[in-house]
Chain A
């Protein structure tokens, strides 16, 4: 395995009786785009805060660039760029001022920061908003500014906690494009998300978390191959008929999942199965054949949907 920037063993974090992170092990290699996928409350953000040297672990070990974040917080944070779940920009300052003051917190010279700000404004596509107060920006612009802010120190590791939550599809795609560029530039990315499409798009490797534990680990393709079939057939018979039809469908493929509104059938060839269902005179109201996704992996591993 390439050089490991982050290495955690038996990492545990408890808040009173509640165990947020439950003895997890993981490594992140240099230049890798590593994802923590799981529903709200899975322990992703807590794990991120421990990596970011802003939360004390209860037990276990963690090393970031060879240092313990609890003992060397400032030294570790000097290498990180952090994008929190909620934008904590200074809304009364302008876009430029937000980037400038953040650069100063890293002890960078005024001359360097002023030059860097220009570069980051272009990266975040915010040149036209440079002198606008942050409170006047759209959600997508604020998010891009928060990411640009995290890059002011040219960090070795960029940590993004739910980077596109709350954004419209267009804003999400612009943001993904910016993150792809960083990936191409060799920046190590750590991303938490509960969007499976985001994890598939951005992550080289990921861990699926639930209730503080790691349920599985691998690349998106490996996880899908290991825990799902090539295709999924989704059929809807109406909420009353779904239960009635499910036992028949169960006979027709190895694995099915009954969700409140639809039934998922895991097969290698979805079209053929749909033909077979139709041949049995079971006409679904709607049907869809699609590729398996990380959503299906999560469903398989936990018995629950990612977004509930």
Chain B
């Protein structure tokens, strides 16, 4: 064994080594990642923010959006959505690749790096992508005059926290997927799309019939959006609800990481 191999060093930094290689892999897609990060805000801000925003404002003013323009109302939701989708991209696909498609996690696990370290490394790299996308989106929102530079920077952290919680959970879920035949289709069409539509993204959740509101209650997008509205433009959110939103995301983060650790360990150590 080479004298430079230090198990103690790997025990401390194993996850960082995995994150380093994940970021290197991501860099192969930097053009597409940047295009999505730039294109998404542009499309949404122009189409929904301005187009639908004018329609909403002309018909009901700001009464339905808590006293702010429609584009301001949806901005934190779009920021949260960017974070969640970015986190999903960087957890779902790498985990499918690692266990199933190219089985690279088994190669990593042949080294002293452990299953939980691989999970944490993938997670950390996903956060880097989320930070990049959210920050770019925020810059657009500030540049368009939707959010204030000084008063809304906390909304970046809130969106990242929501992305982290959702990413951790998705990683845990995907680590248990043995057959991927319909998984990605079902995930995209029956989970992500409803979350996007029923999480108080484009209108307050309370506008929905009560029997549809639970979709929002269990949606990380709603909790992240509500926190984002509070920290982004000072929307009125009761203190107790701020705690509920924060605790919900924290629980999702903790449970997601716990499940990921267990599943990564068991799947790699049969």
Which residues of chain A have a CB within 8 Å of any CB of chain B? 49, 52, 54-56, 73-75, 77-80, 82, 84, 86, 88-93, 97, 101-102, 104-109, 112, 149-150, 153-156
Contact = CB atoms under 8 A, between A and B. Distances in A.
Given A84-B106, A105-B113, 12 more contacts: A54-B268, A56-B269, A77-B110, A78-B10, A101-B24, A102-B107, A105-B14, A105-B111, A106-B4, A106-B5, A107-B112, A155-B1
Nearest to B20: A104
B147 to A, nearest CB: 36
B110 A80 contact: yes
Interface residues of B, number: 33
A217 to B, nearest CB: 27
A187 to B, nearest CB: 11
Contacts of A153: 1-2, 5, 111
B114 interface: yes
A15 to B, nearest CB: 8
Nearest to A111: B4
B20 A101 contact: yes
Most buried by A among B2, B108, B111: B111
B57 interface: no
B11 to A, nearest CB: 7
A108 to B, nearest CB: 5
A79 to B, nearest CB: 5
Contacts of B102: 88, 90-91
Contacts of A149: 107
Contacts of B114: 73-74
A265 B113 CA distance: 52
Given A91-B102, A107-B6, A107-B17, A78 B268 contact: no
B40 interface: no
Interface of B: 1-2, 4-7, 9-11, 13-14, 17-18, 20-21, 24-25, 28, 102-104, 106-114, 268-270
Contacts of B269: 54-56, 73
A56 B266 CA distance: 10
19 contacts: A77-B110, A78-B10, A78-B111, A88-B107, A89-B107, A90-B25, A92-B25, A93-B25, A102-B107, A104-B17, A105-B18, A105-B112, A106-B10, A107-B4, A107-B9, A107-B112, A109-B4, A153-B2, A153-B111
Contacts of A106: 2, 4-5, 10, 111-112
A82 B110 contact: yes
Contacts of B109: 54
A92 B32 CA distance: 15
Contact of A74 (B1, B7, B28): B7
Contacts of B104: 88-90
Nearest to B109: A54
B20 A102 contact: no
Nearest to B21: A101
Contacts of A92: 25, 28
B1 A105 contact: no
Nearest to A133: B28
B2 A154 contact: yes
A92 B28 CA distance: 8
A78 B112 contact: yes
Contacts of B111: 77-78, 102, 105-106, 153
Contacts of A49: 270
Contacts of B113: 74, 105
Contacts of B25: 90, 92-93
A32 B4 CA distance: 24
Nearest to A156: B1
A44 B1 CA distance: 25
B39 to A, nearest CB: 23
Contacts of B106: 54, 84, 88
A154 B268 CA distance: 24
A37 B153 CA distance: 63
Most buried by B among A86, A89, A101: A101
